[in-house]
Structure formats: C-alpha cells, structure tokens
Structure 1
Amino acid sequence: MSFARRLAVDESESPAHAAARELGEELGVTAGINQGLAVDWVSADSVAAPAPMRFPGEIVHVFDGGTWDDDRIDEIRLPPREITAIEFVEPARLPDMLSPPDARRALSALRARINTSGTALLENGRPIAPTVLDRLGVLQTARPTYRYPWNPRPAPYEVTVTHVSAWLFAPDGRALILLDPDTGAAILPGGTPQEQDQGNPASTLRREAEEAATARIGNPLLLGHLTDPSMRRGYLRYAAALTGIGPARPDPATGHAYTRILATPEQAVDLFDWGPAAADQLAAVHQARQHLGLPQAARQPVTELPGPCAW
C-alpha cells in the first residue's frame, strides 16, 4: 500500500529535514528520513501554470518512509485544518488520485524501491536509466491478489486444487518471476492441472514451468497451500531448484512470451498483493531454500533472463 504527499521545503532547509518536519506537522508522526528513492528534475515546460509563475526547472526528492504497521498508523493525528483524511492505496490507483506528473514520479520511485538499485534519477517523472520494471510498467496495473490464509501443509481432500505454482530458485538464492509483457503483472511459474498430469501436482508444475518459462527444475518440495474458502479451491505452492532456462517462447495457454526475471524473495513478495499472510509464506520459502542447500540472496537489482541459461 502507498501513501504519497508532496511537500514544500522551507528556506535553508534540507529536503530530508523538510520531509520529516512535514510528517510531524501533517500526520503527527515522528519518523527519521534517511533513504532516498528518486530525484526528479521537472522542466519548466511541464508545469501547468502561467509562464511567469513557472520555475526555471524544479528538483523533487522522493524519500522512503518505510513500511508502516498498525501501531504506527494508529499514531497518526491529523491537524484540525488542511488535511481531512488519509488513505493507503494500491500503487495502481495513484494515477486516479494524483496529477499525472506526481503519479508517474511515485510509480517510478516505488519501482526503484523494489529494484533496490539505489536512488533513481528521473526527468519529468521518467527514469533516465529505465529498468525492466520501468519498461514493463510494473505496478501500473493492480498487483495479483491472493489474500488467503497460508497453510504449511497439503490441501485437505475436500478442497479442489485448481492451481499449482512454485518458487523456483537459481543457485544464488533468487527466484524466477514471470512478468506479463502487456500489464507488467507478476506471476509465479505454474498453472492449472490438466488431464495429462494424472492428478500429480509435481507433473503439473514441471509441465507449466516448461510451457510458461522454458524452465527445467529439480525435485519439487511442497511448501503448503492457500485456500479460497468461498469457492473451496486450493492453490498449492512448491519450491524447487532451477537447472536451466531455455529460449523465451509464447506460453501455449496465454499466447504471451513472459519476461523472466530473477528477484530476491523479498522483492518478489512486493510484486504481489498477498496481505498479512505474505510474511508466513515468505518464512516457508526461506525454510525451503535452506532445505535445498541454497544461500540467502544478497540485496541486488532484479535481473532479466532474455535468453537460455544453465546451472
């Protein structure tokens, strides 16, 4: 979820100090501001104001305010005037709530936060060195949502398994994530069981990993499942080591040639909207990674896999 607010800097005040001061004045929250996400150069021609009122170019700093838990949110105290309400929203809603330049800047900053590639340099809200996340417009459409409880065990017999997917690990501990080329939506490799799988979820996983990502894997390890209680449908999650990636090709089920990236599990979770249960699944993912004898991935930018790769 995102909260965005553009703030003014007082005379002789640093941008970071201004951000911290305004948090206190407008939300009643004391928070340290020590991590920049983006610096945006805004041209005079892009400002929708009469020519005499335009800046000769403006610099806007975007800072990372951190992840606010329920306790921090409960601390918020709005001033009696100026702000009447706040709302935490999905990034995809920002273009509906902010001006086009502010929304563009915020989304670029959020992609830089996921990519952990340092402070992004922007011009009129657009990165001067776009990453694969920028190129595909990640976060511009709603993130895939599975806000169901995490169960670290097989699905019960009364639940129909309708989807099998997996965390597929490279030797450095990063996971394979597929990005839809049209929407930028993230997908874990996997898919729907078919008759040829003969009721074997591992067979479903191997087939789907090959079809969607041309990925070859080792022996799958069951992590657990998510259940949609209203439909009594189950979603199985596995983990496995990648042994190779072939050339990209269209998925027979969708016709899309997915963009394949390697991301840390933490980066991957930020690409989905899984709610509080994401923390439980992430813990199971790291347990499985250790069981597979793989290291914890270092913080680094995501890596695109455009061609074949073998390990």
Structure 2
Amino acid sequence: MTPHVPHVTGTVPLTAAHSGPHPPLDTTLTTPPAPKDRSMPSCTTPGTAPAHWLQTVVLLTTPAGRVALRATSERLEPFGTTVRDGESPQDAAARMLGGPARPGTAPGRMLALDWTAPGSQGAGGAEITYVYEGELSAARCADLETDTAVRLVDPRDLDDALPPAWSRRLLAALHARVEGTTTELADGRPCRPGVLDRHRVLAGRSAGTEGQWMPDYTWDGATGRVRGWIFGPDGRVMLLHDPATGRTDLPGGAGGDDPAMALGAVAATTAHVTLAPDREVVGHHVSGGEATASVAARLRIVGPLVPVPCAPLPVRLLATPEQALELAPHAALTRSEVEDVMHLAHSEFQLPVADRRPVTEVPATGGVL
C-alpha cells in the first residue's frame, strides 16, 4: 500500500453538491478511522496470494475547477477511504460524504478506475482505486478558503501538491469529467490516453480575470481584444493549446473598430484557419474599462500549421462550447456567454448543439472539416 493512500480520520465539514438528480445539500464529509481489514480477496487460490487493496476517492471540485484536498500535518491528500468488508466502492464513497441514507449526499459517476500492480508501491498486493465525481457548492467554497483542514488547489498545482501517482490519477479523472467518459488507469497513467491526456490540458490552467459579460452590448470605442467562438460543422468550437505554457484558450488577439473583421485576421495568424464571411458579435467581456469582443464565426478551411523558430506548434482542439468553459478558465468565460453563443450558432448558423464527447485534435496538416 502506498504511503500516500488517503486514510480517514476526524470530521471535515463540507458541502456535497453535484450535477446529478439530487440538489446540493450542506452535509458533513465524514472521515471515520480506517478499519483494520481493508482487503478485497484476490481471484487466486485463497491463502496463496496477497490481498488486493481496494480504496475509493471522490474528486471534489469547485465551480471554478479547483480541487479540494485534505490537509494533514504532513501532506495534502485526496478525499478518500478504504472499502470495508461487504461495501461496494460507491457505498464507501457515499459513507465518506456523509452516509448513503442522507438525501443528496451520493457521489457522482465513476470517473476512473486505477490498477497499481503488486509491489510497485511497496505493497504485497495490487492497489485498486475507484475515483468518483463530486462538486462543492459555490456557497460553501468561500468558507473553505479559510478552513485549514481543506486546501483548494488549481489542477496546474497538483504536481507540486501530491505525489506523482496521485497527481496523475486526479488529472486523468479531471479529463474524464470534462469529456463525460470513464478512464482506465495503470499506476495513474491512462491505458488509452486521449488528447487531453497526451497534452496534459488543464495542468497549466490559471485563474481567470474578473469582469462582466454584457450580451448585445455595443462598446463605445475600439475593443482592445477580440476572441473567437469558431464553430465547426458539428457544433464544436476550436481551442488553441500552447504546449510551452500549458494554457488553453479561444483564438484571440488585438481588436479594433470592426471586431468581426479583426477576428478573421487573428484566426489566420494564430490558428491558421479561414472563416466564413458571416460573423456575429455576441457581446463583450468588460473588465477595468477595457472590452474584449466575443465573435461567433463558422470555420471554412483549416490550413497547415507553420513552424516558428524556438516555439512549439500550437495544438488545435475541437470541443463543445461547454467544454471550452471548463478548459479555458483564465479567459473569464461565463455560462451566460456560452448559452448566448450556442443560441446564436443554432439560430443564425443553423448548427447542431454538440453533445459532450471526447475532445479531438485537428491535424497539423490541416484540411476541410
């Protein structure tokens, strides 16, 4: 058993909230002492092989995407517990969140299943970890900022906050959460890594700037910047991921008197794409007396990426607008902006509403979507 497996002691007050059928409730995250017998019998002949260790973890996240970790006197740990005899992994997760009998405290769906081979972490048996989804309500996050028993950590800081196996495990679970999938892991590494796994998207996310979304707002003057909601024919939008900084963003750049025209030039130079002529200013993000125009446009042609000396090629991603909200937090996107953009794309561009799915990468060679 790895020394960093979360053991459970004491009681930490938290609010369990998730997007499932139950409404958010103020509950107590109960962390009872771990039982002595934590083993799940192996499938080999009884008495001839070491037991497998079974544990469950709930990936608790804030609305801003930060991860809640339990702070001990020695280190930070995920919120988890070992599975008791006769329990299912989901029962154990529910027990940790306050008990399965309380309405609204059930964990969300399973995000990841991790197998750590026997002996790889110094234990005699294999280590099996179930990771479930969980969310903290916005009302509870402010209290947790001053709670010394809980630390809210950006995904980009997981490598510094946790041992390598745990940071890999939680980052892979975050990717599965964004894509609406369940991932199979071996020692924290995805067995079938996707685009987000390969490029470690979310590991470089940064805090968003404050401001206000103003739909259908005409800015009195030139806009300082423009950003593009560039739609493909399936209703997904293009994102640019910078491997050097780990930052993922909507294509954007300098604005001007005509944001729609400016986006065409910005898209050609940053994403190497050609846009359809029909473009619509959806609104402005206003912060500190400056405005960033959000422009919706349709993708016409994807050109090849052009290498730049001493800089890695950007990674062009296709994601749903709601996934863009999760993958580009520093862009200060809001759910209202996403809803406005999706409505315009459906009503004006006659594009379908894209269902949540794995994020894909546009080939560097380009082509027609």
Question: TM-score with structure 2 length normalisation?
Answer: 0.71
Give structure 2 stretches of 5+ with no counterpart: 1-65, 69-77
CA distance in 2, matches of 1:152, 1:74: 28
Contact 1:137 1:183 (8 Å CA) reproduced: no
Give yes or no for the alignment of 1:236 onto 2:300: no
CA distance in 2, matches of 1:72, 1:233: 31
CA distance in 2, matches of 1:211, 1:250: 12
Contact 1:138 1:183 (8 Å CA) reproduced: no
Q: Percent identity between the aligned chains?
A: 34
Give structure 1 stretches of 5+ with no counterpart: 77-82
Q: Which structure would you say has the larger RCO, counting Cα contacts within 8 Å and 6 or more residues apart?
A: 1
Which residue identity is paired with 1:120?
T
Match of 1:108 among 172, 178, 182: 172
Structure 1 residues 275 and 211 mapped into 2: Cα distance closer, same or farther (>3 Å)? closer
Deviation, structure 1 residue 265:
0.8
Deviation, structure 1 residue 34:
4.7
Deviation, structure 1 residue 184:
3.1
Residues 282-297 of structure 1: pairs in structure 2 closer than 5 A: 282-290=338-346, 291-297=348-354
Give yes or no for the alignment of 1:189 onto 2:251: yes
CA distance in 2, matches of 1:149, 1:181: 29
Partner of 2:358: 301
Partner of 1:178: 240
Which residue identity is paired with 1:161?
T
Contact 1:250 1:258 (8 Å CA) reproduced: no
Deviation, structure 1 residue 144:
6.0
Which residue identity is paired with 1:184?
G
Deviation, structure 1 residue 104:
1.4
Partner of 1:141: 204
Deviation, structure 1 residue 98:
2.3
Moved more, 94-103 or 240-249: 94-103
The superposition leaves residues 273-297 of structure 1 with CA deviations (integer Å, 9 ceiling, x where unpaired) of: 2699611111111122122111101
Contact 2:179 2:356 (8 Å CA) reproduced: no
Which residue identity is paired with 1:301?
P
Which residue identity is paired with 2:246?
G
Aligned residue for 2:354, secondary structure, equals coil
CA distance in 1, matches of 2:142, 2:124: 38
Give yes or no for the alignment of 1:96 onto 2:155: no
Which residue identity is paired with 2:158?
L
Residues 150-229 of structure 1: pairs in structure 2 closer than 5 A: 150-154=213-217, 156-157=219-220, 161-193=223-255, 199-218=257-276, 219-229=278-288
Contact 2:205 2:248 (8 Å CA) reproduced: no
Match of 1:64 among 128, 133, 136: 133
Which residue identity is paired with 1:243?
R
Match of 1:119 among 182, 192, 197: 182
Which residue identity is paired with 1:68?
L
CA distance in 2, matches of 1:166, 1:176: 9
Match of 1:43 among 110, 114, 117: 117
Contact 1:23 1:29 (8 Å CA) reproduced: no
Aligned residues: 288
Give the CA RMSD over aligned residues: 2.7
Contact 1:172 1:295 (8 Å CA) reproduced: yes
Contact 1:36 1:62 (8 Å CA) reproduced: yes
Structure 1 residues 277 and 240 mapped into 2: Cα distance closer, same or farther (>3 Å)? closer
Give yes or no for the alignment of 1:270 onto 2:323: no
CA distance in 2, matches of 1:144, 1:276: 8
Match of 1:2 among 62, 67, 71: 67
Deviation, structure 1 residue 72:
6.6
Structure 1 residues 275 and 172 mapped into 2: Cα distance closer, same or farther (>3 Å)? closer
Question: TM-score with structure 1 length normalisation?
Answer: 0.83
Structure 1 residues 276 and 179 mapped into 2: Cα distance closer, same or farther (>3 Å)? closer
Partner of 1:79: none
CA distance in 2, matches of 1:15, 1:157: 57
More strand by share: 2
Deviation, structure 1 residue 85:
2.4
